[in-house]
A and B are shown apart, each in its own frame.
Chain A
Amino acid sequence: MILREIEDRELVRRARRGDIESYNLLVSRWEKRVYNYLLRLVSDREDALDLAQEVFLKAYQNLGQLEDAARFGPWLFRIAHNEAFSLLRRRRPEGEPEGEPAEAGLRYRLYPVEMALAVERALNSLPVEQREAVILKIYQGLKFEEMAEALECPVSTVKSRLYTALDRLKELLAPVRASPS
């Protein structure tokens, strides 16, 4: 992991000097993670891809503002978070309660399909901040501090969102796990 951090830092340094290939290498390292983070937040592949492109463009334009090049990952997720929430706000006018964004339902190829769908439904039923905390921790493997950095909030807030979400998911997914296959 340390080696990876050094490499990212070096690539950021080169990209800042205008080496576009180094930046493309950074993109190739992070695009899948950023795309999947966005996909699980906005539940739409086209939107997720558009947002991912926008995220990497903004990151390139603002590379000079990244204070610690080794923190490229959390910084990138912060940009992704801002982009995703901007889209979610546009989609859902202020004051309107959150609903099931199930229309754009994702399809996962993994067996058992029913379980994947149940997980997807359970995730989508969470408030978006809690869902985001689960995505960043469980699927993207960020540490609490990195999550706080990406979401620009205290670690205590991150933990509170995540723990509440885990308790809720534990209840929601218990029948799925208990049901005979």
Chain B
Amino acid sequence: MSCANFDLKAYLLGELEPNRAAEMRAHLAACQECREEFERLELTRATLLVLRDEEIPRRIAFVCDAAPGGSWWRRLWAPGPRWAFASALVVSLAILVHGMLRSAPPPPTLDAAALEQRISAEVERRLQSSLRQALAEAESRQQERFQQALAVARQQWEFQRKADLLAVEENFNVLKKRMNVLQVHLASNWEGGVR
């Protein structure tokens, strides 16, 4: 197979299928011209990588809570307003029931004070229950977000670590190659001087 059939750049960029990559390795071992060209490309890539990513000057974040493409009732029932809406509904119903019961003449056998006490207790119980539920949900959401953020931070750290190691390795290789060139120059100068 002639050299033209081997895509050195695709190999360099990790785009060859495993079997084609194996063929390429065999070819590189046998063909000095391609090996030299590949080395030049590798050095070019290593040189390009001296430019590192910068940190973004300001983090980007969104606070708008309009659901893209969501229906109005879904937006209304989104996690944020859900509990406020539910609590308001419970309180309104309680007040309404309470008001109706107060305005109606008490049945002769019912103790008004006891009834009022029971309603107040019921309202209190429902409010407490809603509050507890809302708190539990908020805590769970918070915990979930924290875990997600932690996972992302871990991933980013790991990625950065690998990138740093790669950069160090590549810089080291470049340095090594430069040292070799320098040594060759020195050796040839020395030989020239001796002659």
The residues of A with any CB-CB pair to B shorter than 8 Å are 4, 7, 15-21, 23-25, 27-29, 31-33, 35-36, 39-40, 45, 49, 52-53, 56-57, 60-64, 108, 110, 112, 115-116, 119-120, 123, 134, 137-139, 143-144, 159, 162-163, 166, 169-170, 173-174, 176-178, 180-181
Contact = CB atoms under 8 A, between A and B. Distances in A.
B119 interface: no
Given A21-B145, A170-B40, A173-B47, A36 B54 contact: yes
Interface of B: 9-10, 13, 15, 40-41, 43-45, 47-70, 74-75, 78-79, 145, 148-149, 151-152, 155, 174, 178, 181-182
Given A45-B54, A110-B51, A177-B174, 9 more contacts: A17-B74, A18-B67, A20-B62, A35-B56, A52-B56, A64-B69, A108-B50, A169-B44, A177-B47
A162 B10 CA distance: 10
A116 B148 CA distance: 36
B48 A134 contact: yes
A18 B68 contact: yes
A31 B68 CA distance: 20
A17 B70 contact: yes
A64 B68 contact: yes
10 contacts: A16-B70, A18-B74, A27-B61, A29-B152, A36-B53, A64-B68, A139-B53, A166-B44, A170-B41, A178-B181
B60 A56 contact: yes
Contacts of B174: 177
